[in-house]
Amino acid sequence: MNVSGFIFQALNGLSSASGLFFVAAGLSLIFGVTRIVNIAHGSLYMLGTYVAYSLATKIGGGFGFWGGIVITACLVGLLGAAIEFVLLRRIYRAPELFQLLATFALILIINDATLWLWGPEDLLGPRAPGMRDAIEIFGRRLPTYDLFLIVIAPVVLWILHLGLARTRFGRLVRAATQDREMVGALGVNQAMLFTAVFALGSFLAGLGGALQVAREPANLAMDLTVIGDAFVVVVVGGMGSITGAYLAAVIIAEVKALCIAIGTVSMFGMSLNFSKFTLVAEFLVMAAVLIARPYGLLGRPQGAVRGVADPEDPMRPATPALKFLGVVVLGALMAMPLMAQSSPYVLILGIDVMIAVLFAASLHFIMGPGGMHSFGHAAYFGLGAYGAALLVKWLAAPMGLALLAAPITALLGALLFGWFAVRLSGVYLAMLTLAFAQIVWAAVFQWEDLTGGSNGVIGVWPPAPFSNSSVYFILVLLLTVIGVLALRRILFAPFGYAMRAGRDSPLRAEAIGIDVKRVHWLGFAIAGLVCGVAGGLFAFAKGSISPETIGVGRSIDGLVMVLLGGIQTLTGPIVGASVFAVLQDTIMRQTEYWRALLGLIILLLVMAFPAGIVGGVINLLRRWRTAS
Amino acid sequence: MDNRHLHKRYLLTVALAGAAAIALFRPASAQDTIKIGELNSYKSQPAFLDPYKKGWELAIEEINAKGGVLGKKLEVVSRDDGANPGEAVRVAEELVTREGVPLISGTFLSHIGLAVTNFAGQKKVFFLAAEPLTDKITWQNGNKYTYRLRSSTYMQVAMLMPAAKALKAKRWALVYPNFEYGQSAAENFKALMKKAQPDVEFVTEQAPPLGKIDAGAVAQAIDDAKPDAIFNVLFAGDLAKFVREGNTRGVFKNRPVVSLLSGEPEYLDPLKDEAPVGWIVTGYPQDKINTPEHKAFRDAYMKKFNDYPRLGSIVGYATMKSLAAGIAKAGSTDTEKLVTAFAGLKVDSPFGPFIYRASDHQATMGAYVGKIALENGKGTMTDFKYVDGADVLPPDDEVKKLRPAGAN
Amino acid sequence: MTDLSIRSLAKAFGGVRAVNDVSFEVARGEFLAMIGPNGAGKSTCFNMINGQLRPDSGEIWFERANLAGLAPREIWRLGVGRTFQVAATFGSMTVVENVQMALISHAGETYRLWKPAASRYRARALELLEQVGMKDAADRASRELAYGDVKRVELAMALANDPRLLLMDEPTAGMAPRERNALIALVKRLVVEKGISVLFTEHSMDVVFAHADRIIVLARGRLIADGDARTIREHPKVQEVYFGTGKTFARVEPKPLEPQP
């Protein structure tokens, strides 16, 4: 590898950056103005590639391709506007992040709809008419289309920049990004602005996806692949900064290209394959940037986002009725092993549900009362699971010891990552937790000798008498109840109050002597510890674990459970986790298109219960009581 | 909010809860059939598993048309495993405990296959791993209760070795997806190559993340390393991107490529007229195999689905044929009897007869090795021949050493 | 005896000297107002004393400790209470829990994990609420309160650590005129009873002139005047800076004057 080789790889990096830029710019705009974390943005990108494929192949020729790209972007923009108009507009007043739940449902629905419309096979589009060849640079061949992509991204950036600087719409967008309430005060039709921004953001996602049609086959995994990258770019660049998004896209693409260019290096008798780092490069960059610059490269500190939703009600100790209900549920659960003979699966599902409950309760602990929205809670679940499993694998540790190691491993991870995370707030904190989770995931994935790599650790089964699922069920029940009650106890204790104080008003909390960061850090650690218990129980319940245990999917599941149940109530995560786990289990058996069905049910629940299920039930009870 | 609205919400809740309850406690169906549990990552790997499902549907139809097995019809209870080992283990337990299936089959991804293999060993359930390729299922982590149908990673690599050796290339570049399958394919290739050709040199190893290849940069890095030949393990979308970038950049010019699985229609067909001509691959030239057993299969498949079979169809079809043969030989669905029956079980498949080896529980169903060619604007294979799995598998005494004690 | 002693305090933001060599003292039990037109450096000065900002140079002596550069919570631990310009309570707690939280923190029990917070120091919290006239609202959610009541609750919280010095940033901002006087009268009564010194900034001149023992005036980052109400009212420099921009002052001293260029 020589200098010209590196320069050439830098050009490759630039062309990869442009795809990332389009999708990230749209995401950034939408978040900046509406504060919605639109995790369905990757799905719009995927749709862009599919639609462009259809247009390019059905119409064909130069118009089918180039015209198709423009038409696609417009269609996806319209779809985005429709999503905002029909769905999101109804839930703007819901508690923070609740919209995330709706967009999560959209991912499921759009993916299944795409499968239904286009079928399962990868669809490789045609090469770009007029740009099929390559040009020679430094004796190497660079595809003309890559050159086009290198140019088009800065051009679009420039147009967006002008649009934001010169037009009334642009000024409104910038104003709303800086202070959302001000726009309402200016008498601007906020609804129109939000719809327009959603359309523009979706247009950019569609454009980005459509431009990829000549580079990669349309496939059903694109939505999730791209959304992760897009979030990283947005956060590294600074939320709401389009230029930042471009800069970040370039940096990340260049780091990856560099890793690939370096290839395998032998150092100190060890050989290190840098190309494997592309797995985690962007998350390492993100973690580094967020630690050094908490608001991203070009982001500005945002004023505290005052939630549009009402803050939660003061916590009341359980009423006699609730206590009675709790005892009844506990009694029913204790009696479940009696059913083991007639329907043994109930116990298996019960174990999964309770592990989910413990996982969700620990996430709720920091998300709700702590106000720290962790998007990477799976890290502590996975650390717990791996802590236990590796002890069994390498030291043949007994289950008791392994189950003790699980929370300790998770606690250590939470102490380390939490220390950095609590220095940030809002969506930046969320993204840093996600980055840490991805780094843990990559470490586990890559450190094959220790962790078994992508295959994970197998053969982690509970010894007798726990090998009997009734006995293991009782163990899980016991630990879950202890865990949930302990979290509840802590929330009612001074520490829990201090955590909420720090969330409600950090300034006031500091002014009465509370070290908010320290309290939140310890809260993070407690949540990690309890989550680790769940992870350890999971490992023994399944007999094997793999890096999926730490994957983004599990972190999102956790968010969905907490939000579905109701983030502002203490029983919310319990109900949310139970409903989600049972729904998923049930629906997966019902239909081939189970994802779409799950998405639709979540959408229905979102519409019916904007405060989550428990929040909704409480509201209903309250209304009935006042009505009667 | 008026009361009517409230009632609507209430009704919705009740309806949802009711639906959940009914689904949860639905009674199992009657016992005049033999139930076969099947689980796979249908949603996450539709390109392979959609044809796979069609394949087993065809097999079940044929088996039942002839009166089923042991006088009973076969009924497949199929589930999505969520592409996640934890979920897969739960689904397996659900099949066994709630549906009461006497045996399970399926899985696609290696780590899920391994998790279910381990589950089968622990819970003493018969498991036929249909598709996962990892060597560990039959070797390092093998167990008494698990058999595997498809040729393993090792076998696939070994099938390509004669052609790779014949290239007499000294400098090799390797490119593989960064997960177990890719890594172990690369390891196997390097080990076999070093044995056959001690002066071989591996000039670069590119391991992009699965599904996220930066194809331009990777192709360029390989070109810059100036290899004499390339060994490729990429598949699906990664392969398509790599081929397009490599073609445009002239990476494959005068450079032979030896490639795993690329001749399978699942991965070859999406490339259309850009199929990389001349690559030496394992695969399935479905339109050119004219053995009577394959013709019969292909015709039946085309008739039923109005589509041509993919390799997944063969795997799905052979899975159910294997299970039917095994149950017939065992004379029951008793787990221990099934395990015994599968040892040395002979099965007829569209690829011809094969057996399940008693030594490592691996089926000897082989694959086709040949060169990619372009015909009528579509990729296909030429100069291909069928390589029997038995010819590339290590001998019995060798694999027995690889398996844990008590796995046989 | 001196309670708070500010010596040569300075702070610049990107070359602009927001506070420039300011020195003054607050005597024990004194009710001292800090006033000045917008941009005079009041907030900067105030935020350095309460720990929100770190001074570039200078010292802030409270009793035997230099507060300069300490964190707000450390300053609070030394016996300094504080209220905010925009009243801030903990919205998800009841009124009495807000005060209990401050008492719990004062007792060093923030990290206790077991005994419920609601059972700690309730009597003492109710006592404090009674003193500010909010006892009846003790079990209401604090987010439901009217703004004036929030200010009273905040005052109760600020008194929870038995402070010897109270820092109040525009205590009457956002309140109706009648409420303002009632609140300040309440504060004055409490601090006299408890022997607390008070430093407060204020926009409303009628409040300042009616209640402050002494007034200091900042303009363009410097301290330009120091004295009782009469001295300040007649201080030429004060008139100069205020009548350039001030409106509030004009209501107290309704003589129309030509604005300066």
- pLDDT tens digit sequence for A347-360: 999 999 999 999 99
- One digit per residue, the tens of pLDDT, for chain B of length 408 reads 344 444 544 445 545 554 554 444 444 444 689 999 999 999 888 889 999 999 999 999 999 999 999 999 999 999 999 888 999 999 999 999 999 999 999 999 989 999 999 999 999 999 999 999 999 999 999 999 999 999 999 999 999 999 999 999 999 999 999 988 999 999 999 999 999 999 999 999 999 998 889 999 999 999 999 999 999 999 989 999 999 999 999 999 999 999 999 999 999 999 999 999 999 999 999 999 999 999 999 999 999 999 999 999 999 999 999 999 999 999 999 999 999 999 999 999 999 999 999 999 999 999 999 999 999 999 999 999 999 999 999 999 999 899 998 777
pLDDT band at C243; cut points 50, 70, 90: low
Residue A551 three-state SS: coil
Query: Residue C256's pLDDT band (boundaries 50, 70, 90)?
Result: very low
Please list every residue in chain B whose beta carbon sits closer than 8 Å to the beta carbon of residue A253. 214
Q: For a pLDDT cut of 90, what percent of chain A falls above it?
A: 57
C91: chain A residues, CB-CB within 8 Å? 311, 504-505
Chains interfacing with C (3 or more CB pairs < 8 Å): A
Chains C and A make contact, 3+ CB pairs within 8 Å: yes
Contacts of C52 in chain A (CB under 8 A): 507
> For chain C, which residues lie within 8 Å of any Cβ of chain A, measuring from their own Cβ?
50, 52, 71-73, 76-77, 82, 84, 88-94, 97, 100-102, 104-106, 109-118, 120, 141, 143, 154, 157, 160-161
Percent of chain A with pLDDT over 70: 96
Taking an 8 Å cut-off on Cβ atoms, the answer to whether A553 and B84 are in contact is yes
pLDDT of res. C1: 62
Decide: pTM greater than 0.95.
no
- pLDDT, greater one: A239 or B104: B104
**Average pLDDT value for residue range A468-494:** 95
Interval A70-87: pLDDT, tens = 999 999 999 999 999 999
CB A285 within 8 A of CB A255: yes
Which positions 117-136 of B are in contact with A (Cβ < 8 Å)? 117-119, 122, 134, 136
As a whole number of angstroms, the distance between CA B379 and CA B377 comes to 7
Distance CA B196, CA B42 (A): 39
Which 3 state secondary structure label does DSSP give B148?
Answer: strand
The pair of structure tokens assigned to A388 is 């236990």
| Burial of residue A255 (number of CB atoms within 10 Å: 0-12, 13-18, 19+) | middle
The CA-based diameter of chain C, rounded to the nearest angstrom, is 66
Q: Compare CB distances from A548 to B6, B85, B249 and report the shortest one's residue.
A: B85
DSSP helix, strand, coil percent of chain A (3-state; round to 5): 75, 5, 20
How far does A484 lie from chain C, in Å, by closest CA? 14
Q: Which sign does the torsion angle of CA A39, A45, A48, A49 carry?
A: negative
Residue A285: pLDDT above 60?
Answer: yes
Decide if C102 and A489 are in contact by the 8 Å CB cutoff.
no
The residue among A87, A21, A79, A28 whose CA lies nearest residue A50 is A79
Our CA-based measurement puts residue B329 at a distance from the nearest CA of chain A, in whole angstroms, of: 30
Chain C residue numbers touching A311 (CB-CB < 8 A) = 91-92, 143
Helix A516-542 vs helix A378-395: crossing angle, to nearest 10: 50
Q: Give the nearest chain A residue to C50 (CA atoms).
A: A511
Report helix, strand or coil for A559.
helix
Between the alpha carbon of residue A82 and those of residues A55, A76, A79, A194, A321, the distances in Å are 22, 10, 5, 11, 44
The dihedral sign for the CA sequence C252, C257, C258, C261: negative
Select from A544, A552, A590, A606 the residue whose CB has the most chain B CBs within 10 Å, as the one to mutate to test that interface: A544
In the CATH hierarchy, which fold is given to the domain comprising A350-594? Answer: ABC transporter involved in vitamin B12 uptake, BtuC (1.10.3470)
Give contacts of A 605-624 with B, CB under 8 A. 605, 608-609, 616, 620, 623-624
Predicted pLDDT at B28: 44
> What are the structural domains of chain B?
32-152+289-367 (3.40.50.2300), 154-283 (3.40.50.2300)
Name the least confident of A89-98, A242-251, A473-482: A89-98
Return the residue in A1, A224, A458 with the most chain B beta carbons within 10 A, the one to mutate for interface testing: A458
How many CB atoms are closer than 10 A to CB A433? 28
CA dihedral (B169, B173, B177, B178) positive or negative: positive
- Taking the CA of residue C73 and the nearest CA in chain A, the distance in Å comes to 4
Asked whether the beta carbons of residue B208 and residue A278 sit closer than 8 angstroms, the reply is yes
Residue B277 to chain A, least CA–CA distance (Å): 17
Mean pLDDT confidence for A167-187: 74
Share of chain C above pLDDT 70, in %: 92
Beta strands B280-283 and B346-349 are unpaired
CA distances from A161 to A166, A167, B332 (A): 8, 10, 73
Question: DSSP character for C22?
Answer: E
What number of C-beta contacts closer than 8 Å exist between A and C?
Answer: 115
Residue of chain A nearest C84, judged by CA positions: A508
Minimum CA–CA partner of C95 in chain A: A314
Answer with the residue of higher pLDDT: A188 or A254. Answer: A254
Q: CB distance from A453 to chain B under 8 Å? A: yes
State the residue for tokens 């707000």.
C72
The pLDDT of residue A537 is 97
List the single residue in B110, B115, B180 with the smallest CB-CB distance to A542. Answer: B115
CB burial of residue B4 (10 Å; 0-12, 13-18, 19+):
exposed
C84/A508 Cβ within 8 A: yes
List of chain A residues whose C-beta atoms are within 8 Å of the C-beta of residue C112? 493-495
In this prediction, residue A183 carries a pLDDT of: 62
pLDDT value of position A577: 96
Coil, helix or strand at residue C52: coil
Dihedrals φ, ψ of A443, to 5°? -60, -45
Place of tokens 């439901």: C144
pLDDT-derived band of residue C204, with 50, 70 and 90 as boundaries? Answer: confident
Cβ burial, residue A335 (10 Å; 0-12/13-18/19+): exposed
> In terms of pLDDT, which residue wins out, A298 or B21?
A298
Domain spans of chain A, in order of start: 26-100+179-220, 350-594
Cα separation, B266 vs A119, whole angstroms: 13
Please answer whether residues B404 and B141 qualify as being in contact, where contact means their C-beta atoms are separated by less than 8 angstroms: yes
Of B47, B209, B216, the CB nearest to A16: B216
Residue C232 near residue C215 (C-beta atoms within 8 A): yes
Q: Give the nearest partner residue to B134 out of A122, A146, A455, using CB atoms.
A: A455
Query: Tell me: the pLDDT tens digits for A379-398?
Result: 999 999 999 999 999 999 99
Test A134 with B250 for CB contact under 8 angstroms. Answer: yes
Q: Does residue A546 belong to the interface with chain B, where contact is any CB pair within 8 Å?
A: yes
pLDDT score for A610:
82
Report pLDDT for A283. Answer: 87
Q: How far is CA A483 from CA A233, A354, A478, A578, in A?
A: 37, 11, 8, 16
**Is C111 close to A522, i.e. CB distance below 8 A?**
yes
Query: Pick from A175, A155, A174, A153: which is nearest to A164 by CA?
Result: A174
Give the other-Cβ count within 10 Å of C164's Cβ. Answer: 19
Tell me which chain C residues have a C-beta less than 8 angstroms from the C-beta of A511. Answer: 50, 72-73, 76, 82, 84
Q: Is pLDDT at A413 greater than 80 in this prediction? A: yes
